[in-house]
Homo-oligomer: A and B are copies of this chain.
Amino acid sequence: MTSTPPPPADAAATVPALRVGMVGHAFMGAAHSHAWRTAGRFFDLPRRVEMAAVCGRDAASVRASAERYGWESCETDWRALVARPDIDVVDICTPGDSHAPIALAALAAGKHVLCEKPLANSVAEAEEMAGAAERARAAGVRSMVAFNYRRVPAMALARQLVADGRLGRIHQVRASYLQDWLVDPEFPLAWRLRKDRAGSGALGDLGAHSIDAAQYLTGRRIASVGALLETFVTERPLPASSSGLSGTASGERGAVTVDDAAVFTARFEGGAIGVFEATRFATGHKNAMRIEISGSLGSIAFDAESMNELAFHDRTEDAATAGFRRLLVTEPTHPYMDAWWPPGHLIGYEHSFTHQVRDFVTAVAEGTDPRPSFAEGLQVQRVLAAVESSAAALGVHIPVTS
């Protein structure tokens, strides 16, 4: 037969492997798995990704996930995974309360770390993590927070436009992250509604994305905030079992200990101001992560529900033909898009994670620091903390500590 095996041994050998262990295998785990599996199929990665192990507490469940998502092996204790000498990268996809211990152990073990957002459930934890990351960095160990929206091509394009000066001086930011899955008062008390697991509610889950996006796009940090937090439904049915299955409810009810919605105003370093909203009660909106930046020369607007598009207004155009342009961010000259389909063919949410893997692997291979760093994750944590302090103080604008 004329058939030939495709990967010539020497070719594969020239690309060193990077062996990944992932902790957590729910929603984020599925997205990260797809990204690890897919990035090398569309991008020329400097490392051959090997999906070494996935870790979860329930043996049967994690075994099923491993098979489903294509991981070579399973672990039921993250300490075991972190201890494995064959693992180069630890990818943390658990709820926020375990980010710090896992990341600290992984960094101590010399593993590169990719950690889901928000970085931690408290500033103290985040400070410890950022400190550890900074020390590990000296030994060539890399760390990164998974603010995946930075890797949406439209967002990356928006950043380019700002960085290129196309918006001029930035005056204003308006950011909202609108979901509605909690409007039903019978939706059960999942872990994301418990402060001990999630740290906060809409604020940390959604608002953290908006804060990172605002600071990433403008290149400016938030200096102070004035906030309101609100919990519209204060008691919800407990989930039927401890397995965390959403959707099924027992007869008992428990207290919601996080915010349903967070709104705040902000001052940025350099003079811009902003207004932010994160909510799970915006009826009709499913994942409307929206941000708009107004500058002296132009403005941009993004909505994750139309994530392949970017609205761009160029104020230097003649007024008679100036208007918001709908950029379909699918051109080969757009960030990340030369790897995908012809213009006009959309990509999905999961591709932001694929791009994240590309950038993370590239940084590890090249010995550069991937971004956003743990230090950036810590700074977002400080903004979240200031929002909570402001809300607790009946709305006093609180400076973000630094």
Binding site for B on A (CB under 8 A): 1-8, 11-12, 27, 31, 33-34, 37-38, 41, 53-54, 59, 63, 65-77, 80-81, 84, 123, 157, 161, 166-167, 171-172, 174, 176, 179-181, 183, 221-228, 230, 232, 261, 263-265, 267, 271, 273-277, 279, 281-288, 294-299, 304-308, 312-315, 319-328, 330-331, 333-334, 340-351, 379, 382-383, 385-387, 389-390, 393-402
Interface SS, A side = mixed
Known contacts A282-B294, A299-B282, A390-B398: A73-B3 contact under CB 8 Å: yes
Q: Contact: A1 with B80, CB < 8 Å?
A: yes
* Bound-complex Cα distance A232 to B270 (A): 11
Across-interface contacts of A81 in B (CB, < 8 A): 3
Across-interface contacts of A333 in B (CB, < 8 A): 319-320
* Bound-complex Cα distance A313 to B75 (A): 45
Known contacts A7-B67, A172-B281, A401-B382: A323-B327 contact under CB 8 Å: yes
Closest CB-CB distance, A320 to chain B, in whole Å? Answer: 5
Task: Among B224, B228, B331, B342, point to the contact of A400 (Cβ < 8 A).
Answer: B224
Known contacts A73-B4, A345-B349: A232-B277 contact under CB 8 Å: no
Q: Contact: A41 with B37, CB < 8 Å?
A: yes
A-B contacts, 21 of them at CB < 8 A, read A5-B72, A6-B54, A8-B67, A171-B281, A179-B344, A180-B294, A181-B342, A224-B400, A226-B396, A226-B397, A283-B298, A283-B315, A287-B345, A321-B327, A322-B325, A324-B325, A325-B326, A346-B348, A346-B349, A382-B402, A393-B398
Q: Contact: A285 with B344, CB < 8 Å?
A: yes
Nearest CB in chain B to that of A33: its residue: B41
Q: Contact: B72 with A228, CB < 8 Å?
A: no
Known contacts A123-B401, A325-B321, A386-B400: A41-B34 contact under CB 8 Å: yes
Task: Among B2, B41, B347, point to the contact of A80 (Cβ < 8 A).
Answer: B2
Q: How many copies does the complex hold?
A: 4
Across-interface contacts of A319 in B (CB, < 8 A): 331, 333
* Bound-complex Cα distance A41 to B221 (A): 40
Across-interface contacts of A223 in B (CB, < 8 A): 399-400
Q: Which 6 A-B pairs have the closest CB atoms?
A: A286-B344, A287-B344, A395-B397, A6-B66, A284-B313, A348-B348
Closest CB-CB distance, A231 to chain B, in whole Å? Answer: 11
Across-interface contacts of A38 in B (CB, < 8 A): 34, 38
Across-interface contacts of A181 in B (CB, < 8 A): 342-343
Task: Among B4, B171, B401, point to the contact of A232 (Cβ < 8 A).
Answer: B171
Known contacts A313-B283, A334-B320: A172-B261 contact under CB 8 Å: yes
Task: Among B33, B225, B305, B399, point to the contact of A386 (Cβ < 8 A).
Answer: B399
* Bound-complex Cα distance A2 to B59 (A): 11
Apart from A33-B41, A387-B398, list 5 A-B contacts with CB within 8 A.
Answer: A167-B283, A179-B344, A284-B299, A284-B313, A324-B326
Nearest CB in chain B to that of A3: its residue: B73
Q: Contact: B271 with A232, CB < 8 Å?
A: yes
Q: Contact: B397 with A224, CB < 8 Å?
A: yes
Closest CB-CB distance, A73 to chain B, in whole Å? Answer: 4
Nearest CB in chain B to that of A185: its residue: B296
Q: Contact: A265 with B267, CB < 8 Å?
A: no
Nearest CB in chain B to that of A65: its residue: B6
Task: Among B84, B344, B390, point to the contact of A1 (Cβ < 8 A).
Answer: B84
Q: Contact: B222 with A400, CB < 8 Å?
A: yes
Across-interface contacts of A179 in B (CB, < 8 A): 344
